[in-house]
Amino acid sequence: MAPSRLFAGRRARSRRPRPRPGAGQPAPPEGGPGGSLRSLLSARSVAGQGFLLQLAVVLVLVLAAVAALVLQARASSLREARGRSLAAAEAFAHAPGTLSAMRSADPSALLQPRAEEVRKTSGVTYVIAFSPDGVRWTHPDPKLIGKRVTGSYADALAGHVHQTTYRTPGVGRAVDTMVPVVDRSGKVAGLVSVGITVESVNARVTDQLPLLLGSAAVALVLATGGSAWVSRRLMRQTRGLGPAEMTRMYEHHDAVLHSVREGVLVISGEGRLLLANDEAQRLLGLPPDAERRPVTELGLEADTAELLASGRTATDEVHRAGDRLLAVNLRPVGGDRDPAGSVVTLRDTTELRALAGRAALARERLQLLYDAGARVGTTLDVVRTAEELAEVAVPRFADFVTVELVEAVTRGEEPNGTSGEMRRVATRGIRDDQPLLPVGELIRSAPTGPMAVGVASGHAVLVPDLAASDGWRAQLPERAQHVLDYGIHTLISVPLRARGTVLGAVNFWRSQSAAFEPEDLSSAEELAARAAVSIDNARRYTREHTMAVTLQRSLLPHGLPEHSGIEVAHRYLPAKAGVGGDWFDVIPLPGARVALVVGDVVGHGLHAAATMGRLRTAVHNFSTLDLPPDELLNHLDELVARIDADEAPEGDVAEVTGATCLYAIYDPVSGTCALARAGHPGPAVVRPDGVVEYPEVPLSPPLGLGSSQPFETAEIQLSEGSQLALFTDGLLEDDDRDLDTGLAQLRTALAHPGRDPEETCRAVFDAVLPARPRDDVALLIARTRLLDADRVAAWDVPSDPAAVPRVRAEATRRLAEWGLDGIAFTTELLISELVTNAVRYGTDPIRLRLLHDNDTLICEVADGSSTSPHLRRAKTGDEGGRGLFLVAQFAQRWGTRYTSRGKVIWTEQSLRDPAAEPAEDVGDALLDQWDDAEF
């Protein structure tokens, strides 16, 4: 169908073109009776819906008529039943001979035959005659004659006709009429009851139903045929469209005419305008009578009119229409029988050209802010964040950018807001020879300068022309002219504010680009705001990191003690991502022994550092008890679990702190090393010949997990000159290698005999340390020594007081061999007291051992008892209690440690401090307390 058939005019009635299958419209009805019937019965079309609606109405009317007739027949049946029952009862009651029969001696013999005859001839159900007292004279069932009737018949006894309707199971609905038989005196001689069922009457009505239903069927067929004919006509006119499709067509048509914001023209094949919507009339300035006129006579531009009349395809061709620029799209259309036409759309591009530049600028600004959000603040470093701000803004927003920060901010401190000086921390520009002050210079802002004004107001300050700004010249009087001569001519200064505090300022400069405009202030402030938040986060991180590092360093050992049994070197490298909880320690123990400790607290930050300090202090305290490694780790595990429980908020589950630890005790006398570990990497042993071993040390769960599993101690024998390497897992952890590879690299780095511990530490860090350690790294290297055999003396002491003088004398001779005559007297006092106490209160075996360790003399008395003496001040009347007091007075240190076989009481005397030697008269008085004859 030609386009002229599509729209006959804006106000004319629309005629729908022939739909084309596959074009989004339903196909026309198929030919033939089958297709027409299917289309007619389809509820999707208007015709189908109308037909189904009419058919439903006809069905309802026919059903209603049939129901009304049936109900009417039923009502007529009931009335007829009442009448027949009453007529039969009246006829039988007033029949000649009925009264005389009731007065006779045997009423049943006379009335029963007559009643049955009446019942059969009249078609009633029963005829019953009974006496006034209710005794039956007649009944269809002879067995019931002579028996009383049931129910009430008072109205009939009063001389009235009584009629009732009732329903009896198995019989159905029935009518009963009761008539009295009255003699001449008005006395009731008897009663006649006649009943008839309604079903018997309905039989007549049933005979009429075929005629009734046939009439209804004829009416239904006639109504259906008429509805089908009307619906078929409607289907042809609507082309099978449904209501929604027709409504949608009208809405689309109305939208094209009045709502579409693009001009739409429909032009016939002859070049006449068939349709122009409101927008097309506005854009082209068409006259009111433009429709049906040739497009060449509408007063359009020549090229525009030529294009519209040509019928060729055009896409976004720009043509002038008055003072407008229109983008014209033209598509030819046509049908099989009608001449070709075309559809034209028009779009006004006049304002789009103007908006395109502003939209591009806005898009660039949004992209700049997006890039700033992604690129500024990638690190928690104040200076680097300022540099990222400058890098983002140049050259997309400014030719040069300078960033100044308050001095306190660069140190991670809270700015006080009173200083007018800032330190330049970042510069960026399109050229490197710019005349602005370099990084590191102190910037003092003048009160009238743009930076000071911006800081005071809290908003960006625009200086469109630097040459005309006296305030800016006052801020940089010595460099102002150089800046202007260089070509920098405009400035925006924005304060960097976060949480209401001024952190610094950022200055945007232009030299080659156009001057800043007021529209640029919002972009500058947004850039500064995003950067200020990142700078403040970096500042706060710097402050917390500095505090954590300070705390951590204060908790770590500042220097390791020198010890005769080992030579120690260490390395500690904190993680760059944050302060961790790794620690190490060297703790001297009694008996020339030494404890080596390496541990790691889970996590980073102040909490990890504080927990590390607590654990390190706890290890020192537990070491004073001289506990074996497994018992010490057990106490440490309980402490960590208690820390978690105490620090958990009320009602919440405790946050597991978690820590690992390796604790080793080295005895330079025997060369043994006892080790135990809790979730920590095992040690490495470097033999004197360079062979590296990883001894098997039983692994227990980390501290604080509450696993209740016992810790185990392992003992290894170390030759003199062996190196024991203790380390944390940060030394081996790396994304580019697994644990086995790290252990192999560590073995290679350690396998070099002849190195001292310091050289070994350096070699390990150079070869094994990851490029970017994720965790703290602690390394402790200890080279072992053995105490000379001639510096050790030991005696087994019998459990007899008489053996004390002998042992004391042998010890004195050994002191003379060592050249320690100066402390011989004090040592005799100590030995006498300790050995005597062991003999009196201890159990076998009892053993005395003297160790000459450089500038210290160690005296140890071991016995098989686990009871420990306690220091107390003896009263005047006490016989004992003074010996241990003397030991505490004359020994530099003393204590008790428990072993698997009992205990050891030890004392240490300094060979550098002779002040501990008592006076001779005091010594004589004291020795009198131990008379050799008493032993």
- Average pLDDT in the 807-824 region? 91
* Band (489; pLDDT cuts 50, 70, 90): very high
pLDDT at site 234: 67
pLDDT at site 380: 82
User: Which pair of tokens denotes residue 835?
Assistant: 């050995």
* Band (9; pLDDT cuts 50, 70, 90): very low
pLDDT at site 757: 94
Mean pLDDT of the chain: 81
Q: Is pLDDT at 307 greater than 80 in this prediction? A: yes
pLDDT at site 880: 52
> E-assigned strands of 542-580?
566-573
Report residue 240: phi and psi, to 5°: 75, 15
* Band (340; pLDDT cuts 50, 70, 90): confident
Lowest-pLDDT choice from 138-142, 700-704, 731-735, 903-907: 731-735
* Band (339; pLDDT cuts 50, 70, 90): low
Strand partners, 673: 666, 716
| Of residues 190, 204, 180, 168, the one with CA closest to residue 81 | 204
- Average pLDDT in the 402-408 region? 90
Count Cβ neighbours within 10 Å for each residue of 366-389 and write b for 16 or more, e otherwise. eebbeebeeebbeebbbbbbbbbb
pLDDT at site 857: 93
Distance CA 702, CA 715 (A): 21
Other C-beta atoms lying within 10 Å of the C-beta of residue 78: 16
- Average pLDDT in the 824-834 region? 89
pLDDT at site 852: 92
More confident residue, 57 or 903: 903
pLDDT at site 38: 55
More confident residue, 180 or 475: 180
pLDDT at site 427: 93
pLDDT at site 70: 67
631 neighbors 574 (Cβ within 8 angstroms) = no
pLDDT at site 100: 87
Lowest-pLDDT choice from 116-120, 215-219, 473-477: 215-219
Q: Is pLDDT at 41 greater than 50 in this prediction? A: yes
> 658: alpha, beta or left, given left = phi > 0 and alpha = psi -120 to 50?
left
| Of residues 783, 794, 804, the one with CA closest to residue 934 | 804
918 neighbors 878 (Cβ within 8 angstroms) = no
- Average pLDDT in the 801-829 region? 90
Q: Report percent pLDDT > 70 for the chain.
A: 81
Q: Is pLDDT at 315 greater than 50 in this prediction? A: yes
Count Cβ neighbours within 10 Å for each residue of 543-560 and write b for 16 or more, e otherwise. bbbeebeebbeebbeeeb
109 neighbors 142 (Cβ within 8 angstroms) = no
Report residue 780: phi and psi, to 5°: -130, 120
pLDDT at site 461: 92
User: Which pair of tokens denotes residue 917?
Assistant: 């030697």
- Average pLDDT in the 701-727 region? 89
Q: Is pLDDT at 8 greater than 50 in this prediction? A: no
pLDDT at site 158: 83
Q: Is pLDDT at 204 greater than 70 in this prediction? A: no
Q: Is pLDDT at 418 greater than 60 in this prediction? A: no
Q: Is pLDDT at 652 greater than 50 in this prediction? A: no
Q: Is pLDDT at 866 greater than 90 in this prediction? A: no
User: Which pair of tokens denotes residue 424?
Assistant: 């330049």
Q: Is pLDDT at 839 greater than 80 in this prediction? A: yes
> 690: alpha, beta or left, given left = phi > 0 and alpha = psi -120 to 50?
left
pLDDT at site 933: 34
Q: Is pLDDT at 478 greater than 90 in this prediction? A: no
Query: Which of 122-131, 184-193, 433-442, 720-729 has the highest mean predicted lDDT (pLDDT)?
Result: 720-729
pLDDT at site 29: 46
511 neighbors 486 (Cβ within 8 angstroms) = yes
SS3 675: strand
685 neighbors 642 (Cβ within 8 angstroms) = no
- Average pLDDT in the 590-596 region? 93
Q: Report percent pLDDT > 90 for the chain.
A: 24
pLDDT in tens, 752-803: 988 999 999 999 999 998 877 878 899 999 999 999 989 999 999 998 888 8
pLDDT at site 310: 84
* Band (560; pLDDT cuts 50, 70, 90): confident
Query: Which of 5-9, 538-542, 676-680 has the highest mean predicted lDDT (pLDDT)?
Result: 676-680
Location of structure tokens 């005659």: 129
Taking CA 147 as the corner, what is the angle to CA 143 and CA 150, rounded to the nearest 5 degrees? 115
